[in-house]
C-alpha cells in the first residue's frame, strides 16, 4: 500500500455532493460540501438538479487541488458513491433531460402498484404472487409498490412527462450518471442497479440482466446501461473534465457504488456478519454474508457486496438524522430563547443561560444530557416519511407520545434521540431474525455517530457495544477511497479492514436496561395500535388515479 496514493472521491448525499481527496488507506485529507436544494412537489414528488451536482463537483475538485494539499500527480483515480434508488434521464450525449427523481419520490405509485399487482385473488403484500416470486428468486427483491424506486420513477416519466421519457437514451442511478460525466462511458454495476431489480445476482461471478424481469417491468433494453462488474475501472477521465477540474490527464474512473457499500468499507466491518450501522439522513444496519436471501415481510434482502463472492445485507429507515434536523428547525424556532442548564430549561426558564439562535446539534446534546434515560415516559416515533424496515408502510407518521403540561423541549429532545434508537432496535430484531444469530458489536458511522450521547443511547437501547470509527461523518468518503484502492490493486481486503480504526467504544449501561426495554415495548405497540389510523389519515396524499 502506497500512502501517497490519493483518490478523488465524491459522496452524493441527499443534502448535496461532498468531494474529497482521500488516501487509499481511507484517510480523508480534505473535503468540501456543497448543499443542493431538494424540491418537494405536490403528489409526493422529490427532485434535485443533476447539473447542480456536477457544477458543484467540478468547482470543489478544482478548489481542493488548487489548495496544493496534495500533489496532482499523486491522484491515482476517481470514484463516486452516494444515494441510490433514484433516476436521472439522460440523452444520447449524456446530458440530463430534467431533474433527478429521488429515492423519496412516490409519484409513480399508481403505475408501479398496477404493474406489480396480481390479477387474481392471491397476493403477497399487494404483489402478484407469481411475479414477486420470480423477482425474489433472481434478484432478492422486487420493485416497490409505492413507486419510490427506478421502476416507479421511470413509469412516472413515461405517463406524466413523456417529452423527457421519449428523448431519453438511458435512465441512470446518480452514481452511474456521475461516473459517466467523469469518463464519458455509460455503465452500471450489479451494485448500482440493485433497486432496479432486473439483474440476476444468483451467480455473483457472472451477473446479467434478466430478460424476463426486464420485460415484466416494461423496461426497454436499449435504455439499459452496459453492465460491468462492481469494482471495475470503467475508463479514464475525459480531457474536458481534466481541464475543468485540473485533475491529471488519463487517470482511471472506478465504477460508482451505493452508499451502503462504501459505508461497509469505511466502517472496516468487512468480515462476514460483522455489523455496521449508519445514522445519517436515513439509517441502516448491514454486514457481509456468504449467502443470498430475502425476507419480503420485514423488507430485508442480500444484495451484491463490495467484496468478491459476498453479498451485503440491505435494509433502510427513511428518517433518522433528518428527524433531529426537523426537530431543531421546527420546534426550536429561530429567535426563541432556550436554556441548556437543566432539564426544565428547554422552555426558556428565566435567569438561565439562553441563546436566541437556532441551536447547534451539540447544544441539543447538552440539553438532552440533563434529562434522565426514558425522558419521563415521553416516546418519539421517527416515521416522518413513512417506514421501510421492518414494515413497509408509506402512510405511518411520526409522533410524540405521552406529553403532559410539565413536558419541556428538553424531554422531547432526549425522547427524539431515544426514538431513533428504538427504531434501530426494531430493525436489529429483524436483522437478527434474518441472520439467525445475535449481532454485535456494532461499528457506528454517519453524522449521528458524532454525538456521544446518541452513541450511548444506541448502546443502551440496542444492548450492544457501539464502536465509533474515526471521522464517522466521513466514513463513506473513506470507504470510497479504500474501495478504489482495492479496485486499483493497491491494497487487499485485509489491509482495507485494518485501515479503519475505532475512535471510541460505548458499552451498554445495565442500569438503563429495564427502562429502555419497557419503553421499546410501548414503541412497537404504537405502530400496531395506530397503523390503521395512519392509513386512513394519509391515504389521500397518494396519487389516486392512473391515466
Instruction: Give per-residue pLDDT as tens, 158-169.
Output: 999 999 999 999
Read off the pLDDT of each residue in 301-315 and give the average, rounded to a whole number: 91
User: Which residue, 388, 381, 78, is CA-closest to 260?
Assistant: 388
- Looking at the structure, do residues 429 and 530 belong to the same domain, yes or no? yes
Where residue 367 falls among pLDDT bands split at 50, 70, 90? very high
**CA 522, CA 507: separation in Å to the nearest integer?**
24
Among 107-121, 129-143, 289-303, 395-409, which stretch is predicted with the lowest mean pLDDT?
107-121
- Looking at the structure, do residues 26 and 95 belong to the same domain, yes or no? yes
- Looking at the structure, do residues 348 and 273 belong to the same domain, yes or no? no
Its pTM stands at 0.86
- Looking at the structure, do residues 343 and 416 belong to the same domain, yes or no? yes
- Looking at the structure, do residues 253 and 393 belong to the same domain, yes or no? no
- Looking at the structure, do residues 280 and 333 belong to the same domain, yes or no? no
Read off the pLDDT of each residue in 128-139 and give the average, rounded to a whole number: 89
Residue 459 has pLDDT above 50, yes or no: yes
Among 68-82, 211-225, 491-505, which stretch is predicted with the lowest mean pLDDT?
491-505
Higher-pLDDT residue of 540 and 72 is: 72
Whether the Cβ atoms of residue 265 and residue 496 lie closer than 8 Å to each other? yes
CB atoms within 10 A of CB 365: 20
Per-residue b/e over 14-31, b at no fewer than 16 CB within 10 Å? bbbbbbbbbbbbbbbeeb
What is the tally of structural domains in the chain? 2
CA angle (392 as vertex; 391, 393 as ends), nearest 5: 100
Read off the pLDDT of each residue in 252-278 and give the average, rounded to a whole number: 94
- Looking at the structure, do residues 18 and 87 belong to the same domain, yes or no? yes
Read off the pLDDT of each residue in 4-25 and give the average, rounded to a whole number: 94
**CA 98, CA 34: separation in Å to the nearest integer?**
20
**CA 466, CA 458: separation in Å to the nearest integer?**
8
Where residue 238 falls among pLDDT bands split at 50, 70, 90? very high
Domain that holds residue 180: 6-317+470-503
Give domain status of residue 11, yes or no: yes
What are 233's strand-pairing partners?
A: 254
Cα pseudo-dihedral 233, 239, 244, 245, rounded to 10: 30
386, with CB counted inside 10 A (0-12, 13-18, 19+), is buried
- Looking at the structure, do residues 150 and 240 belong to the same domain, yes or no? yes
**CA 100, CA 320: separation in Å to the nearest integer?**
23
Higher-pLDDT residue of 299 and 343 is: 299
Helices 259-267, 475-487: inter-axial angle, 10-degree rounding: 90
Give domain status of residue 453, yes or no: no
Residue 478 has pLDDT above 60, yes or no: yes
Residue 526 has pLDDT above 70, yes or no: yes
Task: Report the mean per-residue pLDDT for the chain.
Answer: 91
- Which CATH number does the domain housing residue 110 bear? 3.30.420.40
Give domain status of residue 455, yes or no: no
Give domain status of residue 446, yes or no: no
Q: What is the largest CA-CA distance in the chain?
A: 70
Return the C-alpha cell found at 469.
470509527
Where residue 328 falls among pLDDT bands split at 50, 70, 90? very high
Residue 293 has pLDDT above 50, yes or no: yes
Give domain status of residue 450, yes or no: no
Give domain status of residue 449, yes or no: no
Whether the Cβ atoms of residue 407 and residue 375 lie closer than 8 Å to each other? no
What is the pLDDT at residue 398? 96
Where residue 193 falls among pLDDT bands split at 50, 70, 90? very high
- Looking at the structure, do residues 486 and 423 belong to the same domain, yes or no? no
Sign of the alpha-carbon dihedral angle for 144, 146, 150, 151: positive
Whether the Cβ atoms of residue 346 and residue 370 lie closer than 8 Å to each other? no
Residue 355 has pLDDT above 70, yes or no: no
**CA 26, CA 499: separation in Å to the nearest integer?**
7
- Looking at the structure, do residues 281 and 327 belong to the same domain, yes or no? no
Give domain status of residue 168, yes or no: yes
What is the pLDDT at residue 57? 98
**CA 411, CA 132: separation in Å to the nearest integer?**
44
Read off the pLDDT of each residue in 318-341 and give the average, rounded to a whole number: 78
Where residue 339 falls among pLDDT bands split at 50, 70, 90? low
Percent of the chain with pLDDT over 90: 79
- Looking at the structure, do residues 11 and 123 belong to the same domain, yes or no? yes
What is the pLDDT at residue 331? 83
What is the pLDDT at residue 400? 97
Residue 1 has pLDDT above 90, yes or no: no
- Looking at the structure, do residues 487 and 406 belong to the same domain, yes or no? no
What is the pLDDT at residue 125? 64
Give domain status of residue 48, yes or no: yes
What is the pLDDT at residue 540? 55
Amino acid at each position: 500500500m502506497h500512502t501517497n496514493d490519493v483518490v478523488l472521491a465524491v459522496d452524493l448525499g441527499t443534502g448535496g455532493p461532498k468531494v474529497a481527496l482521500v488516501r487509499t488507506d481511507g484517510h480523508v485529507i480534505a473535503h468540501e460540501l456543497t448543499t443542493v436544494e431538494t424540491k418537494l412537489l405536490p403528489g409526493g414528488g422529490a427532485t434535485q438538479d443533476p447539473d447542480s451536482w456536477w457544477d458543484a463537483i467540478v468547482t470543489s475538485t478544482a478548489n481542493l487541488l488548487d489548495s496544493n494539499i496534495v500533489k496532482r500527480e499523486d491522484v491515482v483515480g476517481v470514484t463516486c458513491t452516494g444515494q441510490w434508488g433514484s433516476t436521472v434521464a439522460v440523452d444520447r450525449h449524456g446530458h440530463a433531460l430534467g431533474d433527478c427523481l429521488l429515492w423519496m419520490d412516490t409519484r409513480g405509485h399508481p403505475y408501479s402498484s398496477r404493474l406489480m399487482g396480481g390479477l387474481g385473488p392471491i397476493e403477497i403484500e399487494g404483489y402478484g404472487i407469481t411475479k414477486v416470486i420470480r423477482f425474489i428468486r433472481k434478484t432478492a427483491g422486487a420493485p416497490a409498490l409505492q413507486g419510490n424506486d427506478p421502476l416507479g420513477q421511470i413509469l412516472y416519466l413515461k405517463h406524466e412527462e413523456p417529452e423527457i421519457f421519449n428523448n431519453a437514451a438511458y435512465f441512470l442511478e446518480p452514481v452511474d450518471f456521475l461516473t459517466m460525466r467523469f469518463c464519458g462511458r455509460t455503465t452500471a454495476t450489479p451494485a448500482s442497479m440493485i433497486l432496479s431489480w432486473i439483474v440476476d445476482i444468483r451467480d455473483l461471478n457472472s451477473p446479467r440482466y434478466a430478460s424476463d424481469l426486464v420485460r415484466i417491468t416494461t423496461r426497454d433494453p436499449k435504455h439499459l446501461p452496459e453492465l460491468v462488474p462492481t469494482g471495475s475501472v470503467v475508463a479514464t477521465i475525459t480531457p474536458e473534465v481534466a481541464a475543468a477540474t485540473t485533475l491529471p490527464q488519463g487517470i482511471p474512473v472506478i465504477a460508482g457504488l451505493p452508499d451502503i457499500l462504501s459505508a461497509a468499507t469505511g466502517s472496516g466491518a468487512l468480515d462476514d456478519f460483522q455489523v455496521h450501522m449508519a445514522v445519517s439522513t436515513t439509517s441502516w444496519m448491514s454486514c457481509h454474508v456468504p449467502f443470498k436471501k430475502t425476507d419480503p415481510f420485514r423488507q430485508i434482502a442480500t444484495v451484491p457486496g463490495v467484496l468478491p463472492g459476498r453479498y451485503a445485507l440491505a435494509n433502510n429507515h427513511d428518517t433518522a438524522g433528518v428527524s433531529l434536523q426537523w426537530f431543531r428547525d421546527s420546534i426550536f424556532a429561530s429567535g426563541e430563547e432556550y436554556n441548556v442548564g437543566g432539564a426544565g430549561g428547554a422552555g426558556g426558564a428565566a435567569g438561565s443561560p439562553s441563546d436566541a439562535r437556532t441551536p447547534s446539534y451539540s447544544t441539543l446534546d447538552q440539553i438532552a444530557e440533563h434529562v434522565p434515560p426514558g425522558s419521563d415516559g415521553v416516546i418519539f416515533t421517527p416515521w416522518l416519511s413513512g417506514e421501510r424496515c421492518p414494515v413497509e408502510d408509506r402512510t405511518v407518521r411520526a409522533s410524540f407520545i405521552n406529553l403532559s403540561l410539565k413536558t419541556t423541549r428538553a424531554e422531547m429532545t432526549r425522547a427524539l434521540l431515544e426514538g431513533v434508537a428504538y427504531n434501530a432496535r426494531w430493525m436489529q430484531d429483524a436483522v437478527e431474525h434474518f441472520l439467525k444469530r445475535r449481532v454485535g458489536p456494532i461499528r457506528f458511522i454517519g453524522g449521528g455517530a458524532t454525538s456521544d450521547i446518541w452513541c450511548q443511547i444506541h448502546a443502551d437501547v440496542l444492548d450492544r457495544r457501539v464502536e465509533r470509527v474515526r471521522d464517522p461523518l466521513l466514513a463513506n468518503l473513506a470507504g470510497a477511497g479504500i474501495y478504489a484502492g482495492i479496485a486499483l490493486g493497491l491494497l487487499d481486503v485485509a489491509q482495507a479492514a485494518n485501515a479503519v480504526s475505532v475512535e471510541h467504544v460505548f458499552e451498554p449501561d445495565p442500569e438503563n436496561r429495564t427502562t429502555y426495554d419497557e419503553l421499546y415495548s410501548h414503541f412497537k405497540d404504537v405502530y400496531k395500535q395506530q397503523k390503521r389510523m395512519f392509513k386512513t389519515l394519509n391515504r389521500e396524499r397518494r396519487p389516486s388515479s392512473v391515466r
